[in-house]
Amino acid sequence: MDNDNVNILEFRGSELIKNISILISGTTLAQLIPILLQPVLRRVYLPEDFGAYAVYLSLIGILVVIVSLKYELAIILPKDEKIAVNVLTSCLLINLIFSSILFLIFLIFRHPVMSLVNLPEKYSAYLLLVPLGVFLFNMYQSINYWLIRKKLFLKISVNKFIRRGFEGGGQIILSSVSRSSGLLFGDLIGHLSNCIYGIFQALTNGVKFYQIKIKTIKYVLKKYIEYPKFNLIPSFMSTCSYLLPAVMINRFFSTEYTGYFDLSKLLLSIPLALIATSISNVLLQNISEKSKLNQSIRKNLISILILVIPGGILEIGIIQFFAEDLFKIFFGKQWILSGTISQILVWAFAFNFVVSSFSSIFISLGKIRLLSIWQFLYFISILSLSFFSKLEFIQFLKVYTFIELVCCLIISIFMIYIVINYERMVLRQSVKI
C-alpha cells in the first residue's frame, strides 16, 4: 500500500475526524428540526413576530458573552479534575449574579430599552425574559465546555437534538395560544430542557459536589483572570458585531424588515451551525492537546480546509441561482424578499463559514490578544453602519456585506500568521531534540 493510501486511511480513521463526524451528524439531526419546521412556523407567525424574536435572540447573544466573564473558556485547560470542576462552578455562580442584575435593569428601564431598539409594546415580554434566556443559555454553554473536556461529543450532539426538539415543538403548540409570544416561550422551553439534561450528564461524568471549595474557586478566578481581562471586552465587541445588524435594521427600518433579514440569516447560517461550530469545538480540544505536546497541527488544519471550502462554494452557487424560488416554494410568496436578501449576504456568510471553522486556533494556541485586536476592528467596522442608516434597505445590506468580507479577510491573515509561527516553533523544538 503506498503512502498516499496510508495517509487517506489515517485521515479517515483519526480521532479528530471521528469526533467531528459525531458532532456534525448530531448537530445536523438537531438543526433539521427547526429547519423543517420553518415552512410551518413562517406561515403561522408574521414577519414582524420573527423580527421581534430576532431582536430578542440578538440581545441574548450579546449579553451571554459577559455573564460568566469568559471563564467558561478555561474549563478544558486544567489537568486536575478538581480545579476544572471549580472553574465550572465559578462560571455558574457568576452567571447567576449577572443575570439577576440584568433582570433588575430591564425591569426598571424596560420602556427606554424598548424605545432604543424600536420594539413594539406588544412584544414587551421578549425584553423582560431576556435575562432568563441569558442565564439558561450560558449555563448550558459552561456545561458544554465540560463535556468537550471529557470528549463526550456524542452526548453534546444528543443535547442539541433534545433542545431543538423541545423548542420547535413548543413553538408550534404555543402558536395557537399566543402568536406574539409563542416563539419566545418555545425558545425558553428548549433551553430549559437542554440545561436539565446537561446537568445530569455533567453529574454523571466527573462533576462532584464535594470537590467544590470556596478557596479553590478564589484560586481559579485569579489563575484564569486573563480571560475576563483580555478576552471579555473583545468577545463582547465581536458578538455585538455579529448580532447588532438585526437590531440596527429593526431600529433604522422596521420589525418587518428585521423578520425578512432574520430568515435569510437563519438559512445562510446553516453550514455555520451544522459544520463550522462542530469543527471548531473539536479543534479546540485537539489543538489544545497537541500544543501541550508541541506537536504539529498543519495536517489537521489542511484536512479541515479541504472539507469546508467546497461547502462555501456550494452555498454561494445554490443561493445565487435559486434563492428567490426556494424561499417562495418553502416559505410562501410573502418571504420572496428574504431570497433577494440572501443573494446579497451569501458571499459574506460563505466566507465566514470557512473562517469560523478555524476560530478556536486563537484560544487553543493562547493568542487571545491578537484575537482581541481583530474583534475590536470588527466591532468598529459594524458600528460604522450607523453612518449608512439613511440608505435604502438593499443598499444598506450591500454595505454590510462588504464590511463582513473585509473583516473575514483580516482574520484569515491573522490565523495564517499564528499557524506559521507555531509550526516554526514546533520545528525548532524537534531539531533540538
Question: What is the model's pLDDT at position 274?
Answer: 65
Whole-model pTM? 0.73
Q: Is the pLDDT of residue 411 over 50?
A: yes
Q: Which segments of 14-46 does DSSP mark as H helices, in order?
A: 15-44
User: CB neighbours of 194 closer than 8 A, spacing ≥ 6?
Assistant: 136, 140, 159, 160, 162, 163, 166
Q: Is the pLDDT of residue 60 over 90?
A: yes
Euclidean distance between CA atoms 356 and 312, whole angstroms: 12
Question: What is the model's pLDDT at position 291?
Answer: 72
Question: What is the model's pLDDT at position 249?
Answer: 93
Lowest mean pLDDT among 90-94, 292-296, 386-390: 292-296
User: CB neighbours of 102 closer than 8 A, spacing ≥ 6?
Assistant: 63, 67, 130, 131, 134
Question: What is the model's pLDDT at position 1?
Answer: 44
Range of the domain at 105: 3-432
CB 232 within 8 A of CB 220: no
Q: Is the pLDDT of residue 366 over 70?
A: yes
User: CB neighbours of 19 closer than 8 A, spacing ≥ 6?
Assistant: 151, 153, 282, 285, 286
Q: Is the pLDDT of residue 92 over 90?
A: yes
Q: Is the pLDDT of residue 256 over 60?
A: yes
**Which burial class, exposed, middle or buried, applies to 81 when counting CB atoms under 10 A from its CB (0-12, 13-18, 19+)?**
middle
Number of domains in the chain: 1
Question: What is the model's pLDDT at position 63?
Answer: 92
Question: What is the model's pLDDT at position 330?
Answer: 86
Cα–Cα distance list, 228 to 66, 73, 243, 375 (Å):
9, 10, 21, 15
CB 189 within 8 A of CB 166: yes
Structure-model confidence comparison of residues 17 and 167, the more confident one: 167
Euclidean distance between CA atoms 75 and 202, whole angstroms: 13
Q: Is the pLDDT of residue 113 over 70?
A: yes
Residue 272, helix vs strand vs coil = helix
pLDDT band at 59 (very low <50, low <70, confident <90, very high): very high
Question: What is the model's pLDDT at position 303?
Answer: 76
Structure-model confidence comparison of residues 425 and 393, the more confident one: 393
Q: Is the pLDDT of residue 403 over 70?
A: yes
Q: CA Rg, the chain, in Å?
A: 22
Euclidean distance between CA atoms 198 and 191, whole angstroms: 10
Q: Is the pLDDT of residue 179 over 80?
A: no
pLDDT band at 3 (very low <50, low <70, confident <90, very high): very low
Neighbours of 417 (CB within 10 A): 12
Q: Please name the amino acid found at residue 149.
A: R
**pLDDT tens-digit profile of 324-354?**
888 888 888 889 999 999 999 999 988 888 8
Question: What is the model's pLDDT at position 17?
Answer: 60
Q: Is the pLDDT of residue 18 over 80?
A: no
User: CB neighbours of 75 closer than 8 A, spacing ≥ 6?
Assistant: 84, 87, 88, 91, 142, 145, 146, 148, 149
Q: Is the pLDDT of residue 6 over 80?
A: no
Neighbours of 389 (CB within 10 A): 12
Question: What cell numbers appear for 13 in the block?
Answer: 480513521
Q: Is the pLDDT of residue 285 over 80?
A: no
Question: What cell numbers appear for 264 in the block?
Answer: 435569510
Mean pLDDT of 283-290: 73
Q: Is the pLDDT of residue 104 over 90?
A: yes
Mean pLDDT, the chain, whole residue set: 84
Question: What is the model's pLDDT at position 94?
Answer: 94
Nearest to 325 by CA among 341, 336, 314, 315: 336
